[in-house]
Amino acid sequence: MLMHQTMRWYGPNDVVKLSDIRQAGCAGVVTALHHIPVGDVWTVAEINKRKELIEAAGMSWTVVESLPVSEDIKKKNGQYLLHIENYKISLQNLAACGIKVITYNFMPILDWLRTDVAYTMPDGSKALYFNRLEFIAFDLFLLKRPGAEQEHTMEDQKAAHDLLESMDETAKQQLFRNLLLGLPGSDDAFTPEQVLTALETYSGINADTLREHLVYFLREVVPVAEACGLKMAVHPDDPPYPVLGLPRIVSTEADAAFLLSAVDSPANGLCFCTGSYGARADNNIVAMLKRFADRIHFLHLRNTKRDEAGNFYEAAHLEGDTDMYEVIKEVLAIQKRRNISLPMRPDHGHQMLDDLHKKTYPGYSAIGRLKALAELRGVEYALSKTMI
């Protein structure tokens, strides 16, 4: 049984058309209703409007990415009770419209972070890149976050200062813009004032507290999801460690194990992202697939290449630190045992060829993801013929 192959689509404003995604060989689309404010209800009418667009293009929509969790829920203050109730209604509406998997994350304030969203690879294509010293320079000297110096060694502070001094003003401004990009799918960027104000709202919330808030949220919504046949799939942190003084609690194998045991339901599971987990050398990706096999509901297959300094970039899907052959082999074994076809999408493809001259969401140009999907499908097809 092969994986259910999909691509992410950001909706009618996405420069990547549904026809492009279908031509890439996808049977389905992964999308979300980005125009609905976080915390509001996704109505049946709005869900069906999006679903009809996708089905008219000859594909299906069964995976939402993402039904966002509000900051009030993460902090367990403000309108969190209303937002949780609205989340439950949205889950019921999505189930009524035929959706099967709900992806979400619990990263405070910011989603994925990169210091360079157009890092030039040796072949001229562009990739996403995270440079640890550039991030420290941003934190200390551009954002000027209060207390940041307490979280970085004197050696790193000096190296970051020297690095920043070597950059011209244009490079500094670009670094600043890259790290203040909003959520994926948005053209908006946060201002420094907005970020510092938002960071202050998490004062006093450490990893243990944030973990308690996630468990509280899951205990509220997972029974609803289970009752209406949905699977909840939490996406790991990206990068998978604390940033800007904010705790991150879905970064390691131990984190995943805790969440699955804290709310022990088949509806409480993982969006297993090989790139996010793979950015940490202490995460054994294949071993994690084996351990959490029954609770994996959605797959992001991408690859990263790390170095000893803590930097990483989005590698070609078959060329990073994660052995994608072994990953796909294990996924096929899981599917055979569970008798299911897991939804999968390639992630963070390189910008290349004609897409180099287009404005696209970082990591989500069409041709790079088409290449990635073709490579992954080739490995999967070859393996499927030997595992009958």
Q: Are residues 139 and 90 in the same domain?
A: no
Q: Are residues 327 and 305 in the same domain?
A: yes
Torsion of CA 386, 274, 321, 375, to 10 degrees: 50
Q: Are residues 227 and 357 in the same domain?
A: yes
pLDDT at 185: 44
Q: Are residues 70 and 133 in the same domain?
A: no
Q: Which of 235, 297, 317, 350 is catalytic?
A: 235
Residue 168 designated active-site: no
Mean pLDDT over residues 332-349, rounded?
A: 97
- 95-129 CB burial, b ≥16 within 10 A, e <16: bebebbbbbbbbbbbbbbbbbbbebebeeebbbbb
Is the entire prediction scored with pTM above 0.85?
A: yes
List the domain range (segments joined by +) for residue 317. Answer: 4-112+205-386
Which of 178, 198, 218 marks a domain boundary? 198
Q: Which of 4, 300, 317, 350 is catalytic?
A: 300
Mean pLDDT over residues 310-320, rounded?
A: 96
Could you read off the pLDDT of 36-93 as tens digits, one per residue? 999 999 999 999 999 999 999 999 999 999 999 999 999 999 999 999 999 999 999 9
**Cβ count within 10 A of residue 252:** 19
Residue 347 designated active-site: yes
| C-alpha triplet 65, 50, 360: angle, nearest 5° | 60
> Domain count of the chain?
2
pLDDT reading at 241 higher than 60: yes
Average pLDDT of the chain, as a whole number:
95
Q: Which of 72, 139, 347, 355 is catalytic?
A: 347
Q: Are residues 76 and 213 in the same domain?
A: yes
Q: Are residues 340 and 268 in the same domain?
A: yes
Residue 348 designated active-site: yes
The position carrying tokens 């992630």 is 347
Residue 35 designated active-site: no
Q: Which of 80, 104, 277, 364 is catalytic?
A: 364
Q: Are residues 311 and 369 in the same domain?
A: yes
Could you read off the pLDDT of 20-45 as tens digits, one per residue? 999 999 999 999 999 999 999 999 99
pLDDT band at 158; cut points 50, 70, 90: very high
pLDDT reading at 211 higher than 90: yes
Q: Are residues 189 and 325 in the same domain?
A: no
Q: Are residues 380 and 289 in the same domain?
A: yes
Q: Are residues 133 and 242 in the same domain?
A: no
Q: Are residues 131 and 223 in the same domain?
A: no
